Chains A and B, each alone.
Chain A
Amino acid sequence: MLKIKKVEIEGFRGFTQKTSIEFDNPVTLLYGGNHQGKSSVLNAIEWCLYGDECIGEKSGIRERVGIGEMAWRVVNDNSEKAQVKLKIEGEQGIFTITRAEAKGKGKKGKSIKISLPDGTEKKADETDQEIARLIRVSFKDFATTVYQHQETIHDFVMQKPSEQSDVMDRLLGLSDYRNILDGIKKSDVLKVQKELTEEFNKLQIRVQETIYIRQKDLDDKRGKAKEKGLSEEELNENKLLELAKSTIKDTTDFARLLGLTTTAISPPSDWKNTESFINEIKKECNRLWAESPEVKEQSEKQKKRSEMLSLKNQYESQHKHFKSKKKELQDFERENGNKDEIDNKLRKAFEEIEAIDEEIKQTSPKAKLIEEGISILESAAPSDAEICPLCGEKVSNLLEHLRKDWEEKIKAQVKELKKRQTELDKKKTDFERLKREHVRLDEDTQREKERLKEAINNISEFLNKELGVRDDPTAILYIEIKKIDSRLKEIEDAIKSKQSKIDAILEKTNIMNLLYDVLLLKDKLEKINQIQRTDEYQTQEKIRTDVSNLVRDVEELSKIIKSCMLKEAEEKIDSARSAIDYYFRRITNNPAFQKFNIKVEEDKRTGVNFYIFEDQDGKRPVPVLSQGDLNSLALSIFLGLAKTSGDSHPLGFVLMDDSSQSLDSQQKTRLVEILNELSNIKNIIVSTMDTDMQQLLKDNITKVKTIYKLSDWAPDSGPKISKEI
């Protein structure tokens, strides 16, 4: 059996400085507080033996799953390189394994070498093979029978009973099966199969719906075709082509009837070209119709009639306007006189205004002269009271009196003149307004007259006939329109018979259209009904079969994986059953348990392993087990597996990491007793932070032991390690 003699750690996880720990004695105790590097020592041994196998998901250890900051890092944060050197003693001598990893260099930064007892050294690819040959234990077996990880104990204690089967699988080293089943389950294989089936079902429904709709349309068109006189037997391509030929003949005959030549139209080569043929026939009929003499004349006459009506309306409207304006002028003149009379009135008003102006002008010098005369008299004769010669009253100052009297008279005279002048100005303004109004009315009347003349000229020009003042354009146009109407009636009668011929042709095209629709729907129905024979349909069926096969394969494979997982669990439990029973009852020392059994079966719902714990009566104790009992159970499974591997196991040591979680002092005592027994056949390396456990190990292990205390861990220096003998 191989035994570890010494490990040298540098730059690995919690270690920065080069540190050596020796395992010369049957028992080695590593103790210290939390985060002091105890677990790192055990991890270093594991990593040196198995490298990347013990990292990440495939390790089966959950805390080692993660990326980036969450990753379980090998190289210490303050070191550039991790290196672990492990000295193992075998029957042939000392083997030294050295594993190293440089930070951030990937595969290139990783190295491994082994020195054999004879001094030879193996490197690179040879090393892994040499190590595998030496230790002969897979990582999974190592993790279940050599290294008791604290996580498995913790998980077993903390998980819900429903999740304990998962932890049991990991305790038994079956996590690879679990992980693979998980990866398969997470894939979309089953989901996609369901989606494809749904898509296909949708397509089937669409096909059925389309068949139903097309059949309904076909029945409808059939019915219409029969209404047009076609029998069921005639609903075929031959009939359609026959109708096409007949339509060409009808069109040619029609052209002949009109005295025109027809454009050559070929019958459709098959029913699929019906639409373009019908379009050609319709186009030709429209052309012939438009070019037929009667239709041409009808069109011209209708155009002429429309123009005449327009001229007639134009004339009548203009005539109405002219008459209205003329009446307005006449009414004005009757009231205010004609142009000459208004001019005369205006002239007279001017003359009267001039006369008054003259009178006012003459009044002023006369007044001035009188005033000057009075002033001379005033200066020549002193004023004494005298009798006024004008009014006969005795006044004190005659001249002053005369002046006032005179002024009053002049003012009254001027006022009267001014009043007359104002009246005459108003009159003059009124006459001027009347004159302007007359001019406007006269101009409007003249303009309307010009327009009326223009309308008459238009009619004259249109009719190509001179119209005199005595002619009534309305009546003349009315007669002309009547003549056109009469001719149009004659034309209409003449083309009626031709219209019926063209209608017959168009009716034939309608029947052809119906027949075409029937054939088209029949064709579409046939294609849909034959869809299952298409390559695409066959291929999709093949794809669905392929997917079903893949699903079947995946399910079959999952079944095999589950079966292997169950088988391996059964084998491991079978081999360790009595040891597990023994250890469990020994650690718990619970009198209720006279026998403890583990059974594994397939979970009916999920197909994965389901573990059942039973007491001597076949009852299930798990719901009532304490955390200490659960820890005892997990430890019993590990110890049971470790013991069962026994002497035949190539590795003569076990690593126990924080194994006393949740155990009471009695249970710890009994665990130490078991370890003491186990140390008879294997070296035991125990890591613990539990002070009771430390003391129990120190006091109760009867074999020679080495004790290391790990303390004062710091990021840049790692832990301080002191050795106690």
Chain B
Amino acid sequence: MTYKEKVQNEIKEEKLRNLWQEICESYEQGGVEQIKSTLNSRIGKIKKDYEKLLENLEKMI
């Protein structure tokens, strides 16, 4: 069994399975840096949305 399958078998939640899938694809595509980049682009978008929301809330104050 490959590392991918071994980890996959241990995952119970669907959500985690998808994340693992995404991480594996990134790793196969571009190694360590690609994993970093994939996770950063995900979190970066959230951060941007969050900052915009905070800006709006700031205006309410």
Measured between beta carbons, the chain B residues less than 8 angstroms from A540 are 50, 53-54, 57
Question: Does A534 lie within 8 Å of B60, measured CB to CB?
Answer: yes
Report the bound CA distance from A283 to B4 in whole Å: 80
Judged by a CB distance under 8 angstroms, whether A378 is at the interface is no
Counting from the closest, the 6 A-B pairs by CB-CB distance are A183-B35, A187-B39, A57-B31, A183-B32, A186-B36, A176-B3
- Chain A 546-561 per-residue mask, 1 if CB under 8 angstroms from chain B, else 0: 1100100110110011
Judged by a CB distance under 8 angstroms, whether A257 is at the interface is no
- Tell which of A58, A65, A557 touches B23, judged by Cβ atoms closer than 8 Å: A557
Stretch touching chain B among A195-203, A335-343, A507-515, A627-635: A195-203
- Chain B 27-57 per-residue mask, 1 if CB under 8 angstroms from chain A, else 0: 1100111111011101110110111011011
Report the bound CA distance from A531 to B61 in whole Å: 8
Measured between beta carbons, the chain B residues less than 8 angstroms from A564 are 3, 6-7, 10
Q: When A179-B27, A540-B57, A564-B6 are in contact, do A550 and B47 touch as well, CB less than 8 Å?
A: no
Question: Does B57 lie within 8 Å of A546, measured CB to CB?
Answer: no
Q: When A203-B57, A556-B16 are in contact, do A188 and B40 touch as well, CB less than 8 Å?
A: yes
Q: When A183-B23, A564-B3 are in contact, do A206 and B16 touch as well, CB less than 8 Å?
A: no
Give the interface size class of chain B.
35 or more
Report the bound CA distance from A56 to B32 in whole Å: 11
Report the bound CA distance from A586 to B23 in whole Å: 43
Q: When A183-B26, A553-B15, A557-B19 are in contact, do A568 and B6 touch as well, CB less than 8 Å?
A: yes
Report the bound CA distance from A556 to B23 in whole Å: 14
Question: Does A187 lie within 8 Å of B35, measured CB to CB?
Answer: yes
10 contacts between A and B (CB under 8 A): A183-B33, A187-B35, A189-B40, A192-B47, A195-B47, A200-B54, A536-B57, A550-B42, A553-B19, A568-B3
- Tell which of A184, A186, A546, A567 touches B46, judged by Cβ atoms closer than 8 Å: A546
Question: Does A180 lie within 8 Å of B23, measured CB to CB?
Answer: yes
Report the bound CA distance from A293 to B51 in whole Å: 63
Judged by a CB distance under 8 angstroms, whether A182 is at the interface is yes
Question: Does A192 lie within 8 Å of B43, measured CB to CB?
Answer: yes
Measured between beta carbons, the chain B residues less than 8 angstroms from A140 are 2-3
- Tell which of A57, A188, A206 touches B43, judged by Cβ atoms closer than 8 Å: A188
Measured between beta carbons, the chain B residues less than 8 angstroms from A199 are 50-51, 54
Measured between beta carbons, the chain B residues less than 8 angstroms from A547 are 43, 46, 50
- Which applies to chain B's interface (DSSP): helix, strand, loop or mixed? helix
A558 CB → nearest B CB, Å:
10
Judged by a CB distance under 8 angstroms, whether A158 is at the interface is no
A573 CB → nearest B CB, Å:
16
Measured between beta carbons, the chain A residues less than 8 angstroms from B3 are 140, 174, 176-177, 180, 564-565, 568
Measured between beta carbons, the chain A residues less than 8 angstroms from B53 are 536, 539-540, 543
Measured between beta carbons, the chain A residues less than 8 angstroms from B27 are 58, 176, 179-180, 183
Within 8 A of B (CB), among A173-219: 174, 176-177, 179-180, 182-184, 186-189, 192, 195-196, 199-200, 203, 206-207, 210
Q: When A179-B27, A183-B32 are in contact, do A561 and B60 touch as well, CB less than 8 Å?
A: no
Report the bound CA distance from A557 to B31 in whole Å: 17
Question: Does A557 lie within 8 Å of B16, measured CB to CB?
Answer: yes
Within 8 A of B (CB), among A570-620: none
Instruction: Give the A-B contact count at a CB cut-off of 8 A.
Output: 129
Measured between beta carbons, the chain B residues less than 8 angstroms from A192 are 43-44, 46-47
Question: Does A553 lie within 8 Å of B36, measured CB to CB?
Answer: no
- Tell which of B19, B39, B50, B56 touches A188, judged by Cβ atoms closer than 8 Å: B39
Question: Does B50 lie within 8 Å of A196, measured CB to CB?
Answer: yes
Give the interface size class of chain A.
35 or more
Question: Does B50 lie within 8 Å of A531, measured CB to CB?
Answer: no
B10 CB → nearest A CB, Å:
5
Question: Does A554 lie within 8 Å of B57, measured CB to CB?
Answer: no
- Which applies to chain A's interface (DSSP): helix, strand, loop or mixed? helix
Report the bound CA distance from A138 to B6 in whole Å: 14
Measured between beta carbons, the chain A residues less than 8 angstroms from B19 are 553-554, 557
Measured between beta carbons, the chain B residues less than 8 angstroms from A346 are none
Q: When A528-B60, A557-B23, A560-B10 are in contact, do A187 and B43 touch as well, CB less than 8 Å?
A: yes
Q: When A176-B3, A536-B53 are in contact, do A560 and B11 touch as well, CB less than 8 Å?
A: yes
Please name the residue on chain A nearest to B9 by beta carbon.
A564
Measured between beta carbons, the chain A residues less than 8 angstroms from B54 are 199-200, 203, 540
Report the bound CA distance from A536 to B49 in whole Å: 11
Judged by a CB distance under 8 angstroms, whether A345 is at the interface is no
B28 CB → nearest A CB, Å:
7
Question: Does B46 lie within 8 Å of A543, measured CB to CB?
Answer: yes
Report the bound CA distance from A539 to B40 in whole Å: 21
Measured between beta carbons, the chain A residues less than 8 angstroms from B36 are 183, 186-187
Question: Does A536 lie within 8 Å of B60, measured CB to CB?
Answer: yes
Measured between beta carbons, the chain B residues less than 8 angstroms from A72 are none
Measured between beta carbons, the chain A residues less than 8 angstroms from B28 are 58
Report the bound CA distance from A195 to B4 in whole Å: 32
Measured between beta carbons, the chain B residues less than 8 angstroms from A57 are 31-32
Interface centre among B16, B43, B46, B56 (most CB of A within 10 A): B43
Measured between beta carbons, the chain A residues less than 8 angstroms from B40 are 187-189
Judged by a CB distance under 8 angstroms, whether A527 is at the interface is yes
Question: Does B35 lie within 8 Å of A180, measured CB to CB?
Answer: yes
Interface centre among A174, A183, A196, A565 (most CB of B within 10 A): A183
- 13 more A-B residue pairs beyond the given contacts A179-B31, A183-B32, with a C-beta to C-beta distance below 8 A: A57-B31, A180-B24, A180-B27, A183-B36, A187-B35, A187-B38, A187-B40, A187-B43, A540-B50, A540-B53, A547-B46, A550-B42, A560-B11
B34 CB → nearest A CB, Å:
7
Please name the residue on chain B nearest to A139 by beta carbon.
B2
Report the bound CA distance from A597 to B2 in whole Å: 26
Within 8 A of B (CB), among A45-92: 56-58, 65
Report the bound CA distance from A218 to B43 in whole Å: 42
Please name the residue on chain A nearest to B35 by beta carbon.
A183
Measured between beta carbons, the chain A residues less than 8 angstroms from B6 are 564, 567-568
Judged by a CB distance under 8 angstroms, whether A150 is at the interface is no
Report the bound CA distance from A84 to B11 in whole Å: 40
Measured between beta carbons, the chain B residues less than 8 angstroms from A560 are 7, 10-11, 16
Question: Does A536 lie within 8 Å of B56, measured CB to CB?
Answer: yes
Report the bound CA distance from A55 to B32 in whole Å: 14
Measured between beta carbons, the chain A residues less than 8 angstroms from B16 are 553, 556-557, 560
A521 CB → nearest B CB, Å:
13
A422 CB → nearest B CB, Å:
101
Judged by a CB distance under 8 angstroms, whether A350 is at the interface is no
Measured between beta carbons, the chain B residues less than 8 angstroms from A25 are none
- Tell which of A138, A179, A537 touches B2, judged by Cβ atoms closer than 8 Å: A138
